[in-house]
Amino acid sequence: MNNIATYREAIQRCRELLERAQAVDLSEPMGVSLATVDVDGQPSVRMVLLRGFDERGFVFYTNSRSRKGRELDHNPRAALCFYWDALREQLRVQGKAERVSDEENDTYWEKRPRLSQLAAVASRQSEILEDPQILVDRVAELERRYENGPVPRPDHWYGYRVVPARIEFWTGRDGRMHERSIYEDSGQGWTSFFVYP
């Protein structure tokens, strides 16, 4: 039976789980699989880093000219999947992907390490690279160009926020007795329910 659940309850559970993951000794606790779909319906998945989270959704940043950027511009729907083996926990999120504001983009860009800024400007993400030395040379040329000044954020580099329409909490149990708890926007409010593992 579906019980009415508030979105705020689901987000609070996400917040608590993300905090627990960050408290464990993991190399990338905010690493998350991001799935998108191309114009032909072919799904594609890759790892990105979660860079923001609040009641509005889950934020990651990328070059919008990359494969994922192009796919999100065509079909602004995405799925995220976090898995923390040390916790025996998984968090899955599905929803609409929207661009974050220029202010948010600039604020995050300014916090990035300088080399990451230079590499983001130099990279033609997802395009064919004939020789890795080309990227190294491009970064070195940009370092000379900007010397000690700030590296400007490219117009095509920004964040996407995945606004949840469905959130699943998976907890691993012995004997495959896993717990799967779903929060979902029914179109008439959020509901919560369990599903079989």
Give the number of other Cβ atoms within 10 Å of residue 70's Cβ. Answer: 16
Q: Give me the catalytic one of 70, 92, 176, 180.
A: 176
- Three-state DSSP state, 181: strand
Place of tokens 């064919």: 128
Give the number of other Cβ atoms within 10 Å of residue 127's Cβ. Answer: 10
- Whether residue 99 lies in the annotated active site: no
Spatial CA neighbour of 183 closest among 86, 95, 83, 85: 95
CA distance 5 to 9: 7
CA distance 151 to 142: 9
Annotated catalytic residues are 176
